[in-house]
Chain A
Amino acid sequence: MKKLQIISAAAAVMALGVTAASAGTLQDVQARGELRCIVSTGLAGFAYTDSAGVYQGFDADFCRATAAAVLGDASKVKFVPATGKTRFTILNSGEGDVLWRNTTWTFVRDVDVKLTFVGVNYYDGQGFMAPKSLGVKSAKDLDGATVCIQTGTTTELNLADFFRSNKISYEPVPIETNDESRTNYLAGRCDVYTTDASGLAATRSTFPNPKDHVILPEIISKEPLGPVVRHGDDQWGDVIRWVLNATRGAEELGVTQANVAEMAKGTNNPEINRMLGTEGDLGAMLGLQKDWGQKVIGAVGNYSEIFERHIGKDTDIGLDRGLNALWTDGGIQYSPPFR
């Protein structure tokens, strides 16, 4: 009897999902037929679940773009939600293949935490939000304020540095998830809420009365947010990097979700042809199908389309392109040539 139990327990363990992975993430994903994409547990505009429980948002669309490139089907994504604390562990343990979550590229994370940042899909900076009624005009006025922060992020390090260098005091209220910081801020547990400026705008858009809150002018840090992969898997890193570049390149070259099918029949611009796979075989060099670029744009559109759909001017979030405009429009988003 006991033996039987042990054996069947072991069988149950096997059945529940012990999976053995091989060397390359790309091969694993293709063999599995599903991309495990790590996203935020919930940040309006970037990664959030809609009323049907499906992940939507800027980061979520990049997950779909990756799945389209790797598997040819944008719907074959399993979203793995992670807090600031668990995200790197989930990536490093192999539970997730790629981290498309607003994650700041820093030296220590890149070098010491052994991650590989493969690009920047959103240039951000840390800001402050306060209720209008408080009458705060600048972050330098915040002496003695209570500040809600999300733990496990670069935010709390920047915050400590900012207040220290300005010689003003504050009380940090460290909270694990964005949802709870938000609840605490609205309940008045803290005077100020700080996170990336994009996150502030996103969070504010979900408030009952967004107009009662102001975002202060100071941006106290550089926060280049971008996708992360495990250290040492260069092929997979290349795939992610060029998926990101394809969306930016498509915007530069005027390829959109609407006209990609048309353009894929062949154009006079050899670079478009190379990107969409009608000329040469860049896909094979990445270990992907020839038409990967076409699949990416067909699934989610180019960078500008993704941006405007989820966080742009016409959405509740209402962010400007700002630094994230193309280099030709005064921003710093730039794609290396497809050659």
Chain B
Amino acid sequence: MAYTEEELKKELETKEYEYGFYTDIESDTFPVGLNEEIVRAISKKKNEPEWMTEWRLEAYRAWTAMIEPEWANVKYKKPDFQAISYYSAPKSKPQYDSLDEVDPEMLDTFNKLGISIDEQKKLANVAVDVVMDSVSVATTFKKTLAEKGIIFCSISEAIQEHPELVKKYLGTVVPQKDNFYAALNSAVFSDGSFCYIPKGVRCPMELSTYFRINQAGTGQFERTLVIAEEGSYVSYLEGCTAPMRDENQLHAAVVELIALDDAEIKYSTVQNWFPGDKNGKGGVFNFVTKRGLCEKNAKISWTQVETGSAITWKYPSCVLKGDNSIGEFYSIAVTNNHQQADTGTKMIHLGKNTKSTIISKGVSAGKSQNSYRGLVQVNSRAENARNFSQCDSLLMGNLCGAHTFPYIETKNKTAQIEHEATTSKIGEDQIFYCNQRGIDTEKAIALIVNGFSKDVLSKLPMEFAVEAQKLLEISLEGSVG
């Protein structure tokens, strides 16, 4: 019997999260709730200097006066911020030099995810700084990087060892009081990555970090700071998969990128957190603030593949401060079942001759809602600013929604701005064509969606592109309209 659309639909609906497992590692978890004591305790636990504790407290105080933003096109039950434990670290936390020393159970976890560190180390030439429930447990290729003067470590380590850099740049792009979730993150961030590329250095390999949320009921508050000194280049990968948990988990990360004169930062993300089951139960709340600052002739490029999370609230942005700076944003957001995504970017043109490109592809299936929300702002002194935006949406079935909310604000007559958006579905004729060439419906959809997303996928580094395609196939193929 032929494989029908109905069967495909059913299969997709019942397809459970493949990476849903729970690693039983003894954890060191704080009591639930948040107050100044907890903030101090986190700071103390991490042995932070006085200025850092104060910085956190300042953020905490600002946070208490703020309210959660409600403008996004997502509906969810607000998390109770006093019912979350704000710190969780694997209890046995030795410093490893080699993988052999790592808890075998944890290694097994990575193997299940298909991100075997050994393999990546050997084949992909990727230095992986694995963050498992907030504490860095393995850092590879540190020596190679150190020779070039590149610092790539956990942010807690950076606070200890490079306080002058952290002090100088932390919070300069995303201030503590920037928004509700950024303030929360600033107060309680547990760990994250720190990367510093010295003047004129081209980072010889892709830097990569895998974040995972492991402990039930703990929010993950990552803080990433990437500094590219004058004339340097770095490509940074961030990938996420989280095990299946039944209650909603909160994730509020902050990423700050600083590209000084002539520097270039390429930041790629694959996000595949648990999206909730087919009834919309569970799933990760992903409220992320990502922003980059470009100085003269600098370039920041964001690439993201968003397939997971129950709620996504994420706007990787570029502040094009320096003249001739360039900002890019390439995104694929796929939502299925009851997922809701409100994602996009902000391009703030401040300098002269600044350029920005936005390519956003949204695919919605099941009962999901997928929104693009973007801002292109050209200030009055940004002569000859140029922007091109393209937002395409693909709908599968009539229970989902695709929305576009572009904001365009221009105060300079020399600006050239183009925005276009389209919404369509997978044509029956396209599927028919594939079918008659012997490609079954499921594969045909994967093929078509892959083609639809190609503009963005091609921007991903090789190693990631493969994984991203795999992810698309898992979460994507949906009910054919």
A and B are interacting partners: no
Which residues of B does A touch, CB under 8 Å?
none
Which residues of A does B touch, CB under 8 Å?
none
